[in-house]
A and B are shown apart, each in its own frame.
Chain A
Amino acid sequence: MYQFLTTNNFNINAADYLNHSAAFSNRWHKMKSKSKYLMIGASLILLLVFLFPIWNIDLEAPQYPEGIGLRIWVNKMTGAKEFDLKNLNGLNHYIGMKPIEPDTIQELKYMPFIIAFFIGSGLLVSFLNRKFIFVWIALLLIIMSVGLYDFYMWGYDYGHNLNPSAPIKVPGMSYQPPVIGTKKLLNITATSLPGAGSIVIFLSASLAIVSFIIDKRGNKEK
């Protein structure tokens, strides 16, 4: 296991960076407290998730040189510009897509609590042992995967579940935006990418993993 870790550049570098000292020996105790601070950091950084969108969908069309976009936050859904959501719904009625009404999206109601839970439990775990950090990481990764799947299904529902009396019907055409990437939907090019909020979650998970590894390695040295 140790062998494996030493050959892993990422972990070596991270450990170096966090140590400021190349000497590992007899310092496990300090490393453990470093690991604790990392875990506290991993928890608190999640507060930033409330400040940035977690996903961005941007649409381009010939007659929208200024672009039109959707911002998915942990607790709300907005346009990239003030009236984008309204305008998007206006355009979507031509293809029979149901209007996006943020108030009716349940996920937006309980996602803030999930993030809050990870902040709280993460802080708690910082003062417990490594196994809890592992569980915390595992849970976060599971929730992230479920979230992505849910996002896919949400997009699937909007893209496929169309009003049969819509004025514009293109046989075989559905309008599901991609989860990540770019897709051409009639005259619109839709690009979907993680927002700063997702990067924060990713960073949080990375910090927690580093914290876990440092702690584990410190114990082995001992």
Chain B
Amino acid sequence: MKGKGIIISFISILTTALIIYNCSGGGNSSNFSDAASKVYVAPGSYDEFYAFMSGGFSGQVGVYGLPSGRLFKEIAVFSQDPETGYGYSEESKAMLMTSYGFIPWDDAHHPSLSMTAGEHDGRWLFINGNNTPRIARIDLRSFETEEIIETPNSGGNHASPFVTENTEYVVASTRFSVPIINKDVPINTYKENFGGTISFISVDKNSGKMNLAFQIIVPGFNYDLARPGKGLSHGWAFFTSYNSEQANTLLEINASQNDKDFIAAVNWKKAEEYVKQGKAKTMDAEYYRNYYDEEKQTAFSEVNKKVLVLDPKECPGMIYYLPTPKSPHGVDVDPTGEYIAAGGKLATVIPVHSFSKMIKAINEKKFDGEISGIPILKYDAVIAGEVQDPGLGPLHTEFDGEGYGYTSAFISSEIVKWKIGTWEVVDRIPTYYSIGHLMIPGGDTKKPWGKYVIALNKITKDRYLPTGPELTQSAQLIDISGDKMKLLLDFPTTGEPHYAQAIPADILMKNSKRIYELEKNKNPHAVKSEKETRVERSGNVVRVYLTASRSHFKPDNIEGIRTGDKVYFHITNLEQDWDIPHGFAIKGLNNSELLIMPGQTKSILWEPKQVGVYPFYCTDFCSALHQEMSGYIRVSPANSNVPISYNK
């Protein structure tokens, strides 16, 4: 009976959404002449912000400029990238290793810039892999992935990575509860056998090295999104959950029954104390940490076998549940750290909790029972206010630092601007269509840069030239400098941008690497000059040490290779000049090409199966004589005695 009511109300919501679609579609292009000048970045000029947008199912991160919306780079993170050889080259394969073996892909969701004192410091960008739970760290001098750590005892690492105020930790959790430790059990024993974890991964403040510090075992709800506290709430982190019903099938109905689910408020400073006191149990686990050694230019894997686990039953005061309507999605903390806004995606209001009320309620023990040792706080004792009429399906909130919150509403496809304190809606603007996350530059920090809000949309339908059934996702740039939000620009994105981050260009530009210094190249297979180039055979393993410089490879004629050999090409780009990469490709290579940056060494494996002569060439148009930058490899039969030879 109750289920039926939900279905009916859902249908009516969808109908309303469709009506709003039809009303808002199209747009009047004559209103945008003023907008054009605000997003126009003249040739040769720079954008004001870098924006990092998650690639979603592409597994990568897109680097864009704002306000122009121009795409500069896709950083290979969780997916193999045949363009650069990431995940194919001998040096990079280890980056994609997990306890399940080599995985060429993941679902990248939430880019999160490192912070110092609650502000983006421009050192690293973290992003979670949702599918096979992982967190990656990207270096913002090289714009390359430097580290990927796996999280054990987890499924669906969605509430992640979201850094703490001084990048003490990045967090992870289970959107999909799993048996902890994973084992073969009937799925309908969910309530007995499945559990969730909330993980804190420490980040070394100098090297950025990640380490799984501890995990907290929590009831098997679906932990969806997270935000560490800041300012007065620094030391806490907040995690939304849905499916407090603990359903294991047809969640869209069965996990939408309870009026309220929970935000888990974790006192991570307290958790640290419990770990120090030895309250954490050491549990067996297996998880990989892969890191890229910039000097050796090679990725290495480290397998960890232990994890420290805290049980809330034994750690009072470490974690509390804040009742929150209904199946909340986002949880976002305002710049002061006082207000915790939840995107109750099936709720009719945006509930905003107060941190200080929460502390008071804890001290006064205003509890409404407990679950597995986690006290449930009384809703009325923690709620600061509810934003009424916030649009349908509110998901995420960002802040402008001027006293306003901006919440995305998925079902009604709009951004709703509301005032902190009075909780009244002051403005709203349609998005095209079905906005997920939204992002204000620095909107998750103590000092937002403001100026724009970006809508990150899931559906584009009629907004662009059609490209068959698969259409682009999109971002929309909206001016928030005035009282009224104004749509400025609509641009397509690669993959599906979930969350995004933006940072003023001048913070990153000055640190951006131009080359890798050849002198510091400690790749064991590097050759520093043409004199060192050579071809060596050891059994059926042949190693070709090649150099690339404008406009030739050395050597460029190689003989004595036989079918059945394992041929490793180790190519060093000898250039020390800005923006002069060289590429490397061989006809018939069952592998990717390589793009080698100045001063870098990369290696690729070739296993020739057919006799003949094979051309190889530079794939990156490097110079006026790029076409001439090519060579030949002669492959002889397995039993031939053609000696190894090459031109010096």
Contact = CB atoms under 8 A, between A and B. Distances in A.
A19 to B, nearest CB: 51
A86 B578 contact: no
A86 to B, nearest CB: 6
Nearest to B44: A65
Given A83-B515, A90-B549, A90-B550, A167 B576 contact: no
A83 B625 contact: no
Contacts of A103: none
Nearest to B598: A83
Interface in B582-632: 623-625, 628
Contact of B575 (A66, A82, A90): A90
5 contacts: A83-B577, A90-B549, A90-B550, A94-B625, A167-B628
Contacts of A86: 576
Contacts of A138: none
A87 interface: yes
A86 B598 CA distance: 13
Nearest to A93: B550
A142 interface: no
Interface of A: 66, 82-83, 86-87, 90-91, 94, 167-168
Nearest to B578: A66
A82 B515 CA distance: 11
A96 to B, nearest CB: 13
A168 B549 CA distance: 17
Contact of A87 (B576, B624, B628): B576
Q: Which 6 A-B pairs have the closest CB atoms?
A: A83-B576, A87-B577, A86-B576, A167-B625, A90-B550, A66-B578
B513 to A, nearest CB: 13
A167 B623 CA distance: 12
A167 B515 CA distance: 27
B600 to A, nearest CB: 14
Contacts of A91: 550
Contacts of A167: 625, 628
B623 to A, nearest CB: 8
Contacts of B578: 66
A73 to B, nearest CB: 21
Contacts of B576: 82-83, 86-87
Contacts of B549: 90
Contacts of B625: 94, 167
Contacts of B575: 87, 90
B301 to A, nearest CB: 34
A5 B430 CA distance: 85
A94 B575 CA distance: 15
Contacts of A83: 515, 576-577
Given A83-B515, A86-B576, A91-B550, 7 more contacts: A66-B578, A87-B575, A87-B576, A90-B577, A94-B623, A94-B625, A167-B625
B93 to A, nearest CB: 30
Contacts of A66: 578
Interface-centre pick from B577, B578, B628 (highest chain A CB count, 10 A): B577
